[in-house]
Amino acid sequence: MRAVTFTTAGLGLAVLLAGGVPAAARSPHPTGTAALAAYENQHLTWGACSPAQKELRAAGARCTHVTVPLDYADPGGRTLRIAVSRIRAEVPADRRRGVLLSNPGGPGGTGLAYTLALRPALERVAGAYDLIGFDPRFLGESSPLTCDPARKPAEPGPTTTPRRDFEESLAAAREDARRCHARGDNARLLPHASSRNVARDMDVIRAALGERRLSYYGVSYGADLGATYAQLFPRRVDRFVVDSVTDPAATQYEQFQRSGRPAEAALDEWAAWTARRDGTYHLGRTAAAVRHRVEALLARAERRPPRVDGLRLNAPLLRMILKQPLVQGENDPTAAAVVRDLVAASHGRPVEPGPELARMIALLKSPELADGMLGGVLFMCGDGGWPAGGWPGSPATYWRNSQRSRATEPVFGPFVNGMTAPCAYFPEPPREPAVTIGNDVPVLLLQARRDHTPYRDALAMHRALRGSRMVTADIRGHGVYGRAVDGLDPVPCADRAVNAYLGGGGLPREDVTCPTARAARSGPRR
């Protein structure tokens, strides 16, 4: 259930499917309800889900495609087909609450089966809703957009410098932008990959299902998407839960930058945990000693990248590898085992990587990695601002920020401040600005206090969603609801709050801080 981190997003290999617009939608008035009537009233034909959706088929789900405009300013033009799944409510019609849509985050995550994954966490609430999953436009089975195949990246040489690593990241970003725009008519399609348009697609799904209002759960990027929908369609919101949000006023690049400080704090927390287990990991008896090992590992890699399992790992790759497990506190043993292997390799000792590091290296070797990660890029670049997505257009800005960050964020600063997306090389701006969030729609907002997404950013979203109530969990994690489904330590009071709300109860009267595991017996603090 957690949002996509060190996994591929899976763009799919099919060619973009575009059909003709329903005749009634060919209106001289490109905006407004009348122009979209044919989409909102379209007949849906439900059938077996595709063979790739084995879990949905086993659960008895049915699937269909909903037709939406490529460009909502031109509803009589080109169309897309959005893949939608449905598991019908189990209760009698008079007790049915409606439909519950969901999005797993990413950005770039496919979600056709995601509501099915939520079902164990929803418990008895699940049966009161039609559970609706969907793949956002251009992803998965929703008119998937593909780019030219990625070239096999050149392996880092035996010696390097921070500047050389930086220049290679610029070249990779430039190449990703080129190969994505070179395929077919992608250059015409990419400006329409935006959260605003995905939210509009969600509302067409709602209308095509014959529902007056929509209930929703979204995590990470899916939470921001839920806030976007609530802003655009406030009268269509029923029960909305947004889990692990960002500052709605920040650009994508600013969000990346702001994750550096909490990542450094997570490293310190992990270092203290690891120091108490020096007999197992041999990385130092104090938190300061463990941190020094990590910083020394990176300093050596910025001169001589270590080779592990046939792959040479430069400092940018190491920073990415180190950041992923630290997101969840339950991954501290994984992080310690990975660092132990990497430190040994950096000293020239032969290393047989443990299962955690071996899995990461196998992913880095995968030819599909670069293609899969582009799923997130589509929406990072399409959400307003210029250059695309609000990413700075000057390489000097990234270099200057990454170097300045070393003073206070020596491990992760260069990674989160450097060039991480090809958006700056997109030739055209997004069609529309990003959505400005500010309303009093009732929303339940969840946030972990020690998330890599800064807690102050969640407070900014809370202020923008004036009708929201916020449930805070004092954990290191990304995603608060339903954690037990992923084998993580649950936050029972957050799970109860979500299920009570989705089950028909009201929002909490006040914001709630869930107790830590030690204080769980005393109940939540208000």
For the cut 50, the answer to whether the pLDDT of residue 442 exceeds it is: yes
Helix axes 260-275, 287-301, angle to 10 degrees: 120
Q: Which ranges in 131-244 belong to alpha helices (H)? A: 162-182, 186-189, 195-208, 221-232
Q: Bigger pLDDT: 112 or 1?
A: 112
Ranges of each domain in the chain: 148-182+255-353+385-429
What is the rounded distance in angstroms from the CA atom of residue 513 to the CA atom of residue 455? 13
DSSP string, 231-280: HH-GGGEEEEEEES---TTS-HHHHHHHTHHHHHHHHHHHHHHHHTTHHH
Tokens of 128: 């009161």
- Residues taking part in catalysis: 220, 451, 478
What is the rounded distance in angstroms from the CA atom of residue 378 to the CA atom of residue 180? 10
**Which pLDDT band holds residue 374 (cuts at 50, 70, 90)?**
low
Q: Which ranges in 276-394 belong to alpha helices (H)? A: 278-281, 287-301, 315-326, 332-346, 355-365, 369-382
Residue with tokens 């270590």: 306
- The confidence score (pLDDT) of residue 386 equals 77
Q: Which residues contact 207 (CB under 8 A, 6 or more apart)?
A: 39, 40, 41
- The confidence score (pLDDT) of residue 440 equals 97
Residues 480, 482, 484: CA angle, nearest 5 degrees: 105
- The confidence score (pLDDT) of residue 33 equals 66
What is the rounded distance in angstroms from the CA atom of residue 331 to the CA atom of residue 318? 17
Tokens of 339: 């660092």
For the cut 50, the answer to whether the pLDDT of residue 416 exceeds it is: yes
pTM of the model: 0.91
- Among residues of the chain, what percentage have pLDDT more than 90? 75
Helix axes 315-326, 162-182, angle to 10 degrees: 80
For the cut 90, the answer to whether the pLDDT of residue 498 exceeds it is: yes
